[in-house]
Amino acid sequence: MSTLFSQELLISTFAIIIVPLYMLYLRSSRSKNPSVLPINWPIVGVFPYLIANFHNLHDYLAVVLAGSGHNFRAHGPPGTGLRFFITCEPANVRHIFTTNHANFPKGAEFAAIFDIAGGSFFTTEGEPWRRQRARAQRVLSNPRLLACMTACCRDKVENGLPPVLMHMASTGTTFDLQDLTTRLVFDMTATPLFGVDPGLLSSDMPPMDAAVAMDTVMEVALFRHIVPTSGWKVMRRLNIGPERKLAAAHTVLRGFIEEMMERRKRKEHAGNEGAPSVDILSSYIDDPDYQQNDGLLHATLINYMIAGRDTIGTALTWVFYNLAQNPHVVSFIRHELSPIASRKAATGANNSSTMVIFEPEETKSLVYMRAAIHESLRLHPPVPIERKTAVAHDVMPSGHVVHAGDTLLISLHSMGRMEGVWGKDCREYNTDRWLSEDGKKLRYVPSHKFLSFSSGPRLCLGKDVSFMQMNTIVAAMVWNFDVEVVEGQRVQPKMSCVLQMKNGLMVKLKKREM
């Protein structure tokens, strides 16, 4: 056994023996003082707290950060390299993401955590990242590709959703809305990416092996974030625990990509001399750098899948949940949609016989609906935590010192729940906070305060496409159906790097009478 492996095993074994003893003490302390903040204990640091609260980590961090003034320093057992600076302070976020962003890359550990996307612009830094980002920007600004993505969204909403939704409404069937939005957004992401439709949103509702594998990647990634690197690497070498599950997920995702590329190839051959494919893959597959490196091509394609499917699919489920809890917001959105629906009815512009479908261009300027989506993203950001690494010593605007090698965790989930950032009603769903006094315009909120699409040089390239898709889907659902969340279910976040619902969202639909 190698010396390095022996050290990793020793540290992991040590943590396994010591941590449970501390957890027993924590349970006793919590019963006496439930609001106690984590203590950086000798030897084990805050590691026992992270493990004890892993099932509810995002809400736990919000409590800790609220009680410690938006910032908290933590460390793990010696030799693990776990030195955290956890923050949700907007001034610090601006410093990390914009003012001094060169000092705060994602870092080598981030790349190791998301090794399935290794080498892509999701994990790279410096010149490789700049080249790849510039390329992605050219790809995503291609008018033909944008038209393809818009058409794909429109087709799914007009032809894919109605049969499923009308069946559920007519039969009064209870169903998982998160499952439905996952299928919808998976198809909407993969079709422009590969040039072929995976067909997950169909009448027979086929297995979602690739989507489940992506969920696994994000769940295990959160585990890797808070466990010593040596610990999860030992598990990976021994192929046990979460790492065993992750290895299987990697195999499924690589198989899915190969299948989609093969289907695209067959489609091209069947099309003979037709127009060239308009898809994201076409922009990479003929490039020598990607032809000679299948791993980089696969990582880049997975990068695009994560950017589209994980964020939008996750966001939509929370949007519909929040709307169901706030019927007055639904009424305002319908009022905003009413003139468009009337024009469509008068001109016979709607092609669907069962649902009123709104064109992406028609929903682009709807202020109130955008405010409703923004407010849901504030409370339930699809990516609840961002991770950075300090290259050199620095002083935060809050006055905290970070040292070279420190890991910085930025809690977006916590930021939306801070009174000092959003006011005393920070935990309430309030669309008015996004509207001007006359309600006709959106208020400007800087990205370092509303971080759902990142900030600074890494600002999300697909933001406009994301809102186009969400607007189109939300408009169709809200106008045509009443959504009722089934009572008695426990709605809580899954412990993952994306804020999916742990148990899904069971709902019933009722078709509106026009």
Annotated binding site for heme: 460
**Whole-number Å distance between alpha carbons of 506 and 61:** 27
- Return left, alpha or beta for 6; rule: phi > 0 is left, psi -120 to 50 is alpha, else beta: alpha
CB 319, CB 470: distance < 8 Å: yes
Q: How far is CA 322 from the centre of its chain?
A: 17
**Sequence-ordered list of residues with C-beta below 8 angstroms from that of 293, at least 6 positions apart, any chain:** 119
Which amino acid is located at 200 in the chain? L
**Sequence-ordered list of residues with C-beta below 8 angstroms from that of 488, at least 6 positions apart, any chain:** none
Q: Which of 146, 444, 485 lies closest to 318, judged by CA?
A: 485
Place of tokens 């890991």: 407
Beta bridge partners of 87: 71, 410
**CA–CA distance from 388 to each of 84, 118, 356 (Å)?**
10, 16, 45
**Whole-number Å distance between alpha carbons of 479 and 338:** 9
Residue 169 tokens read as 């409404």
3-state helix, strand, coil in the chain (%, to 5): 60, 10, 35
**Whole-number Å distance between alpha carbons of 445 and 425:** 17
**Whole-number Å distance between alpha carbons of 150 and 465:** 8
Place of tokens 């019927």: 327
Which residue ranges make up the annotated binding site? 460
